Amino acid sequence: MKPIQVGLLGIGTVGSGVFNVLQRNQEEIRRRAGRGIEIACVADLDTARARSIVGEGTRVVGDAREVIANPEIDIVIELIGGYGIAKQLVLEAIAAGKHVVTANKALLAVHGTEIFKAAADKGVVVAYEAAVAGGIPIIKALREGLSANQIQWVAGIINGTTNFILSEMRDKGLDFDVVLKEAQRLGYAEADPTFDIEGVDAAHKATIMSAIAFGIPVQFDKAYVEGITKLSAADIRYAEQLGYRIKLLGITKRTDKGVELRVHPSLVPAKRLIANVEGAMNAVVVHGDAVGTTLYYGKGAGSEPTASAVIADLVDITRLIEADPAHRVPPLAFQSHTLGAAGQDLPVLPMAEVVTSYYLRIRVADQAGVLARITGLLADAGISIDAVLQREADEVGGEGSTQTDVIILTHDTREGDMDGALAQIQALPTVLAPITRIRKEELN
């Protein structure tokens, strides 16, 4: 049988990984897929660099539309990124009847509904294993491996840059700004790191996972997004003393009222495996009602790990390329005609409705009665306290200090109730600085 013909749009880090792995492992991949898979054409604005990567045997063009228009091409891989031209090209490829493989989480989290609809209408696949957690086959696990389950929650370290920064902050006791600079120097953070450190990239990925876990549309605009820029070395140290690590988690959870979808720093018990995921590694914990807690760990970025996911999608498409589309796994895990059916579209909850526990660090005047006032206000709001860590004044501010940190861990409460209580505590004259509030997840 003729090898499957693939067109590659964009041959940067991931694209060159795809090209190299497909070449190196072509025999093994053919033995698995039952058919060869080859890159027939590469489009990149920098044709000279593209040529230097692919050598003489592969066609290189400067115009992506030439690839899409080529009737020989079966599958188009989109590795351009972003929502601009990438969106146009993906829609054009679909319209031309090509199957599409993409690593573009931003595109799918924001425009997924439109794209999957277009693909369904044309009977083509849009596959995106590489869009979440790089080489870890988490999309496959959620859509197929755990298909027996009512998924209850998913929580993941799904951004390597921020996990690297948090690992370094903890290891070396340094503050955010210092470590960010080091991460940029080492290539773990980009020159403009906003999407990573503000949690946007993790929120794109969490949005995609929420859709396939719960059978709801992608709704990035409803996600709560908070990054790691305000974390201090002190919070990491206090958390450690209380038996916790701080990780940037993408969380999505099913509740009776709707779906939680949120990205923020979280305290996680130090004994959980996910709390021990260090450096730029990724890990996703999935809790299903039948299977219980499962975890998936690996490299979340990089040339060949991401290529591993892209090529797995190519193999899946190759197997079913001549089959009736009804035989394929639905793109968002659930049959598309059941998305949005009555009673099945759980709303994404506003943050005030989210129920979780909290770590609070409150800078107070070191005088009698302060703790009693604070705990009294929490009690009035119905918030119960799990643990209190009160530092000696001189541990914090040096000898003769009149300030200290009070650290409080709470039990589960509505975020809206916590907001109200914190406003009152913040207004106390004995509270001397903005309160630090970090959510806490037990993940068991």
Instruction: Enumerate binding residues for its own copies (CB under 8 A).
Output: 17, 21-22, 24-25, 28-29, 31-34, 129, 135-137, 140-141, 143-150, 215, 271, 273, 276-277, 288-299, 304-305, 307-312, 314-316, 319-320, 322-324, 326-330, 333-335, 338, 344
Residue 195: CB atoms within 10 Å: 17
Q: How many CB atoms lie within 10 A of CB 398?
A: 9
**Nearer CB in complex with its own copies: 24/257:** 24
Nearer to its own copies, 218 or 378 (CB): 218
Q: Judged by CB, which is closer to its own copies: 147, or 384?
A: 147
Q: Which helix (H) or strand (E) holds 366?
A: none
Cβ contact 70:41 at 8 Å: yes
State how beta strands 259-269 and 224-225 pair: parallel
CB of 163 to its own copies, least distance (A): 14
- d(C-alpha 412, C-alpha 384), whole Å: 8
Report in angstroms how near the CB of residue 185 gets to its own copies at its nearest. 23
> Is 113 or 424 the residue whose CB approaches its own copies more closely?
113
Q: Residue 49 in 3-state DSSP?
A: helix
Q: Phi and psi for 111 in degrees, rounded to 5?
A: -115, 20
Query: Which is the catalytic residue, given 105, 140, 205, 440?
Result: 205
CB of 128 to its own copies, least distance (A): 14
Other beta carbons within 10 angstroms of residue 205's beta carbon come to: 25
**For residue 287, with 0-12 CB atoms within 10 Å meaning exposed, 13-18 middle and 19 or more buried, which class applies?**
buried
Closest among 321, 309, 359, 375 to 103, alpha carbons compared: 309
Q: How many CB atoms lie within 10 A of CB 74?
A: 21
Q: Which residue's CB is nearer to its own copies, number 241 or number 338?
A: 338
State which residue, 319 or 437, has the beta carbon closest to its own copies.
319
Whole-Å CA distances, 71 to 6, 15, 74, 91, 360:
11, 22, 8, 16, 60
Angle at 242 between CA 236 and CA 248, to 5 degrees: 40
**Residue of 43, 131, 52, 129 lying closest to 93 (CA atoms):** 43
Integer CA distances (angstroms), 79 to 42, 68, 83, in order = 11, 14, 12
Judged by beta carbon, residue 329 or residue 396, the one nearer its own copies is 329
Q: Nearest distance from residue 5's CB to its own copies, in Å?
A: 18
Q: Determine whether 205 is an active site residue.
A: yes
Please report how close the Cβ of residue 250 comes to its own copies at its closest, in angstroms: 18
**Distance from C-alpha of 216 to C-alpha of 205, rounded to nearest angstrom:** 14
> In the complex, what is the shortest distance from the CB of residue 281 to its own copies, in angstroms, rounded to a whole number?
9
- Least CB distance to its own copies at residue 213 (A): 11
Q: By the 8 A CB rule, do 148 and 290 touch?
A: yes
The tokens for 297 are: 């760990």
Least CB distance from residue 348 to its own copies, whole Å? 19
> Residue 62 class from Cβ within 10 Å (0-12 exposed, 13-18 middle, 19+ buried)?
exposed
Nearer to its own copies, 171 or 394 (CB): 171
DSSP string, 369-388: THHHHHHHHHHHTTPPEEEE
Cα–Cα distance measured from residue 317 to residue 319, given in angstroms and rounded to the nearest whole number: 5
E-only strand ranges, 172-239:
224-225
Q: Which residues are catalytic?
A: 205
